[in-house]
Amino acid sequence: MKDMSWMVASPNGSSNSKPLSWIVVSIGVVAVIITFASWFFLSYPISSSAHGHFYGVESSQTQINTTSVDVRVNGSLGLGDNKTLFDLQPSIDVVSSDNSKTERIDDNGNSQVLFRDSTSPKIAPITKEVNSSETSGLASKVPIPVVGSNSSIVKGCDLYHGNWIYDPSGPLYTNNSCPVLTQTQNCQGNGRPDKDYENWRWKPFECDIPRFDPRKFLELMRGKTLAFIGDSVARNQMESMMCILWQVEEPKNQGTRNMQQYYFESTSVTIVRIWSSWLVKHNSEPFDFAPAGVEKLYLESPDEMLMEFLPTFDVVVLSSGHWFTKQCIYILNNEVVGGRLWWPDKSRHMKINSIEAFGISVETILTALVTHPNYTGLTILRSYSPDHYEGGGWNTGGSCTGKVKPLVPGELVENKYNAAMYKQQVTGFNRVVKKATNGSRMILMDITEAFQYRHDGHPGPYRSTDPNKITTRGRDGRPPPQDCLHWCMPGPVDTWNEIVFEIIKEEYESDSAS
């Protein structure tokens, strides 16, 4: 900065002083600069917490409270400290595919690692590839949100980065207004005393996901079939969809032994669920040195029953991964290549671990769908649903007791096992994108990051109607038996179906426009 002493008279009355008018002009310039800067920062707040106060978000019923949990600003906040939140015992050996090293993690894969942002795909045709090289690295800047119309999503919006915002308008249904709700997910019916977990709404930075309109959904899906295929988390999502749609029409139950099926007569829409634990062929028959009674996964072969019904589906939502923590044996190219919680002896070489087996299964099932000669539908691969067991795994004393609000920046740690499973999905998806031959479309619905923050959304100890169930820690600190994997209904799981609706809108409204 230049020396400005020449603008005023020197103390000894030197004749070097300039006219008083220069002082007036300089003060005026400074005032203009200050005024402009104030206007700029008010118009474009630099704080991620500030944007909620300047950009209102509306639901279809009422103004949403802008109290929010920002899930993208963590990179600039220096998350937490290095104190682990998890008990890493008991642990198991996870052998790498090259057998060169062994990594110690617990049964649930818990490990202290800072949560990392993942660059997620936007709604896109199958030719859009997810960049797996961008699955780490935190965003350094929060974009100014663009509030979208409540009638449809802003085209091209990134649905997977945003905030959890408290919405006093409440859930889309109640636990008493849905007759198909599995009791273990009926948290209010099982005596959970708090309800705020029902009222947090997902708000992408770039747009607003409108409140789910069940009548519009049924009309958009007229004459079509939506199938949820996978494990018990797929059932959780399917029942959420049914609870939402049940508010406007009671469907006819047309289920069979092999498939749950509900038919909405007004629009000829069918909602289906097929149980498929691993999405690949499996049985418990003996194979080579693997004995009978232990499940064998044939990793290169898709689930046969799933493939039988596939041509009748217009939209398929896939869910898998959690059963890879259970005892099973992996068979690939007619060879036993690995196992989970089973292996005959250390003298035999285990070629793949459970995480790698999951990745192969993802690639197998997606390839089968996008190359099936009679399937031209939309496949939605919902990314890995995070659990929130603290202090251990589901079978070693892990707990989510007492969680009543979403995590906030600085509290989140990455579950190493969840992160590895997610990475396998992204890798498998990317590989299959290039294999499509049947004209079907495929989208990765990337909910993993956002749901890392919802440790409050699980049943926890409120998983049964037993009036004498234990719901608090004992005197020795031991937590009660609980479920920190599935999701309460109503609850965060309903957001998955709001996102599914937006994906379907993008698909079918674009088709009708063209």
DSSP designation for 11: T
Rounded CA gap, 162 and 170, in Å?
Answer: 19
- Which secondary-structure segment (H or E) carries 363? helix 354-371
C-alpha triplet 401, 237, 388: angle, nearest 5°: 25
CA dist 378 → 126, 369, 375, 477 (Å) = 9, 10, 9, 48
Nearest Cα neighbor of 279 from 339, 325, 323 is 323
Residues 277 and 319: their CA atoms lie apart, in Å, by 9
Query: Which residues, in sequence order, are CB contacts of 12 under 8 Å at separation 6+?
Result: none
Tell me whether residue 446 is one of the annotated catalytic residues.
no
Active-site residue, 98 included: no
Residue 495 near residue 210 (C-beta atoms within 8 A): no
Q: What angle do CA 493, 168, 54 make, to 5 degrees?
A: 105
Taking the C-alpha atoms of residue 480 and residue 471, their distance in angstroms, rounded to an integer, is: 6
Structure tokens at 404: 């009543």
Residue 450, CB-side half-sphere exposure with 13 Å CA sphere: 26
Which is nearest to 350 in space by CA: 341, 362, 359? 341
User: One-letter amino acid identity for 261?
Assistant: Q
> Cβ(404)–Cβ(456) under 8 Å?
yes
Which candidate in 232, 284, 301, 464 is catalytic? 232
HEC assignment per residue over 427-443: HHHHHHHCCCCCCCEEE
Q: How open is the CA angle 280-91-281, to the nearest 5 degrees? A: 5
Which residue of the set 107, 213, 303, 483 is catalytic?
Answer: 483
β 315-319/113-114 pair status: unpaired
Closest residue by Cα to residue 272 from 222, 225, 236, 233: 225
Q: Which 8-state DSSP code applies to residue 191?
A: T
Whether residue 314 lies in the annotated active site = no
Catalytic residue among 161, 282, 455, 486: 486
CB 45 within 8 A of CB 146: no
Q: Which residues contact 59 (CB under 8 A, 6 or more apart)?
A: 150, 167, 169, 201, 210, 211
- Is the peptide bond preceding residue 90 cis, with omega within 30 degrees of 0? yes
Q: Would you name the residues annotated as active-site residues?
A: 232, 483, 486
